[in-house]
Structure 1
């Protein structure tokens, strides 16, 4: 499995021949200033949306117009919102694993809020637990540390967890460390930091805090890749 980090919480997963884009935030992103970002992509099969905030959903329609066969996967309310715009969607909620060609996906808990830019209710915020034949991955979405994370390892060991670390709106570095204990996961990809002034972090210090606990905090530059 390949994970490409673009910036903020936007990542892409490559699982065999399937490409999954997570929480696309390019056009309004102060870090990603290239207005031709759509040209970087030759194919996208799925878009996964953790919640309805602008910095996670703003480019869904742009991608869906370029790639007509994209399937948007999110909670029931977000899926309905985009389905009414003519976009193919798959709605789910906190429940069982659902099988897709790339693996099994489960929508899981997050402690946050969820509303579209126009004020439309975005349903319950969440994250995704992804089980594949290449390993298991947890995408927390925007959240505080919550005790429900401790349930996640009971479904299977995690190779990687993607956690926000910027603080203020989500977990900070110290809380992400607690989350990694709940998750029994030693390798964390940090997201949702440095995009805006109020979520800037000391990256060297953050990585050291994880290292001192025998864990790895991965902080990728824009467009860089890791293999899981």
Structure 2
């Protein structure tokens, strides 16, 4: 698999079969991602963890351009359906579904969620993706939660993508604990630096993960890495 980071919490994963999964597209309002061409981002499936603007601002444009299928909770899927996006699949926490590329399970996250127009956004989720004999975890925006231990008990993760910016979500120390609980030995950190309250102390973040025996990767915006 290959992972491309587009800034904030937006990243794409190209699976071994060539399927492109895109998570939480927030690019055009992000000054740090000003060099990213939104129209060049590939997507066969777009997955949204919750309804906050900084996780879905560019979703409609990408869904319209690519015809990708949207995977999100019931409220978000319905909201987009009312906007004319018909290729949607609602998936709520605890539920899983087998797609052509593999299985997606929505898992619990502790956060808030409201859509950009003030509409109720339903509950936030993370995702466990199983595809091609491998699996990975996407935390979405969340606090450290004991439910993460269940993920570790039920899945053998290749890697995890976790929020690490603190203030609005768990910070690096809690995320390193979450990595241990989920069994992830490699974590790609997201949701940091975009806004002043989530400016990351990179040395401290790496130290927190090293102390737990976990590799922390912080790819540059636009960088593609093998995972």
Per the TM superposition, whether the score is higher than 0.5 is yes
Kindly indicate whether the alpha-carbon contact (under 8 Å) linking 2:45 and 2:70 is maintained by their aligned counterparts in 1: yes
Q: Report deviation, 1:26.
A: 0.9
Q: Report deviation, 1:134.
A: 4.4
Q: Distance in 2 between matches of 1:45 and 1:62?
A: 14
Residue 39 of structure 1: aligned partner: 39
Residue 26 of structure 1: aligned partner: 27
User: Secondary structure of the residue that 1:151 maps to in structure 2?
Assistant: helix
Kindly indicate whether the alpha-carbon contact (under 8 Å) linking 2:28 and 2:38 is maintained by their aligned counterparts in 1: no
Residue 137 of structure 1: aligned partner: 136
5+ long unaligned stretches in structure 2: none
Q: Distance in 2 between matches of 1:102 and 1:154?
A: 23
Q: Report deviation, 1:55.
A: 0.3
Kindly indicate whether the alpha-carbon contact (under 8 Å) linking 2:4 and 2:224 is maintained by their aligned counterparts in 1: yes
Residue 58 of structure 2: aligned partner: 59
TM (normalized to structure 2)? Answer: 0.95
Q: Distance in 2 between matches of 1:38 and 1:5?
A: 13
TM (normalized to structure 1)? Answer: 0.95
Taking the TM superposition and a 5 Å limit, the aligned residue runs for 1:36-185 are 37-41=37-41, 43-67=42-66, 69-87=67-85, 88-185=87-184
Report the count of equivalent residues: 225
The CA RMSD over aligned residues, in Å, is: 1.3
Q: Distance in 2 between matches of 1:145 and 1:159?
A: 20
Q: Report deviation, 1:155.
A: 2.1
Q: Distance in 2 between matches of 1:56 and 1:152?
A: 23
Listed one character per residue, the Cα deviations across residues 184-223 of structure 1 (whole Å, up to 9, x for unaligned) are 2111110000111110011122112212332101111011
2:11 counterpart of 1:11: yes
Q: Report deviation, 1:39.
A: 3.2
User: Secondary structure of the residue that 1:31 maps to in structure 2?
Assistant: helix
Q: Distance in 2 between matches of 1:163 and 1:28?
A: 21
Q: Report deviation, 1:24.
A: 0.2
User: Secondary structure of the residue that 1:62 maps to in structure 2?
Assistant: helix
